[in-house]
Amino acid sequence: MSIHRDPDADDIQLYSDLPPPIHLPTSELLEHYNPNVLAPLVRCSKLPFRHLTSLYETHITHTPMILAEEFSRAQVARVSDFSTSSSERGVYWMTPSTSSSSSPKKRGKEAIRVNHPDDDRPETPNELITYYNPPSTHSDRLPPTPTPPTRDAVLVRGNVIAQFASPNAKSLVDAAELISPYVDGIDLNCGCPQRWAYNEGIGCALLRKPELVRDMVRAVKQRMGWGWSVSIKIRIDPDQRQTETLIRNALASGISYLSIHGRTRHQPSTDPVNLDGIKFAVETVKGEVPCTGNGDIWTYEDVLTMRERTGVKGVMAARGLLANPALFANYSSTPPHAISQFISLSTTYGLIFPLFHRHLAYMLESDFSRNEKVWFNCLSSSTAAIDWLEGRGLDWRSARGSIWDARRGRGVVSAL
C-alpha cells in the first residue's frame, strides 16, 4: 500500500485520507506481522484492561479463561464472564515481517515508539484531545498517527480472542458458537496449572490427552467452519515426547496457531522460563502454523530475546503487562497517561472495585513506598482510590471521557 501525503495537509485531512485497515485472521496476523499479544489472565484481562493494552501496541488480546460449560449453559455466566465493545480492537501501523526493508542482521523486531500525546504535548488550556466515545456512537478506531512510520507499514486492525477451558467437545463447541459474533476466534486452555482446574479435567489436565484435544478442536471447526480461528495454549512437558505427541495431534486437528508457555505444569512462576523448551515446540510444529511464546516478558528486550531464541512469530505477555500495560510500546514502566486512561476506561465501561484496585496496585507497585502500599491496600472503593491518586498529583479529569486511541488524532479536536 503506497500512501502519498500532501505536505501542507493538517491532521484532519491526513486522517480522512487514510485507507480502511486490513482485518486478517489471527494466524495470518501472526505469520506476517510478528504481533504482540496479551495473554489470557485469570479475571484480569477484562474489557477495560484489554482496551488499555490495545492503546500501546498490543495487537492481539485475550479474554480471561472462561469455563465453557458454564458459559454455554447460563446467561448469567455469559454476562459475568464476557463483555466487549466495537472500540476495543486497536488499529496499528505494522510492517510485514517479510518486508524488503527489514535487514537479516537486525535483531528481532525493534519497537517503533509512537509517543502518546501526553508525553510531549505542550500545555494548552483550551486544547482537548478527544480520543474516546461510547461504543454505541463510534465503531472504528484510527492509528496513533496518520503518517506511516516506515515505507512498508500498512494499517492493520487488532484481534480479540476468547479463551475457553473445557473438559469436553460439546461445551466448547456451544460456547464457541455463542461468542463467535463478537470475537476473532477462540483459544483452548491446555495450560492452567491450578489444582482445581486439573481435577475438573481442564487446563493442564489436557496436556496428556492429545486425542481429546484433537477431537475438541475438530468439533469446533466442523461447527464454525474450517477457516475460523481455533488455537490452543499449552505448557511444555518435562517429557518432550509428550509435547511432541500433543502438538502433532493438534496440527492434525487443524489448529490455526499454537501458544506455548515455557514452564511445566508443576513449575511456579518464580522459575525462569525455559526458552529451549519453547524452541523445541516451535521446531516440532515445523512451520505448519505460527507460534507465540509466553513467559518472563517484562521489558522490550525480553520480547526481542523471545523471538531470537525460540523462533516464535508472536510474543505473549501476562504479568509484565499487568505491571506495565505500555510494555510493548517500549515504555520502561507504566506512564502516567496509562493510569489516567485506565481510570477513564474502567469508569466508562464499568469494572468491579476489586479488579480496579488490583490493576492499579500492579501498575503503581514500582512507584510506591512501603507505607504507600499499605495505605493503598486499605482503600475500600474506586472513589477512594481515585481521590488518593489525585492527591498524589494524578490529573485524569482533564481528559475525562476521552481515552487516547487517536480516533480524532492528536490535537485535532479543540475545546469550545
Q: Which residues are catalytic?
A: 192
Helix locations, 230-368, DSSP H: 240-253, 275-285, 300-310, 319-323, 336-349, 353-364
Give Cβ neighbours of residue 369 (< 8 Å, ≥ 6 apart). Answer: none
Q: What type of residue is 57?
A: E
| Antiparallel, parallel or unpaired: β 258-261 and 230-235 | parallel
Q: What type of residue is 91?
A: V
Spatial contact of 164 and 176, defined as CB atoms under 8 Å apart: yes
Residue with cell 482446574: 197
Give Cβ neighbours of residue 272 (< 8 Å, ≥ 6 apart). Answer: 296
Q: Is 339 exposed, middle or buried (0-12, 13-18, 19+ CB in 10 A)?
A: buried
Number of H helices, E strands in the chain: 17, 11
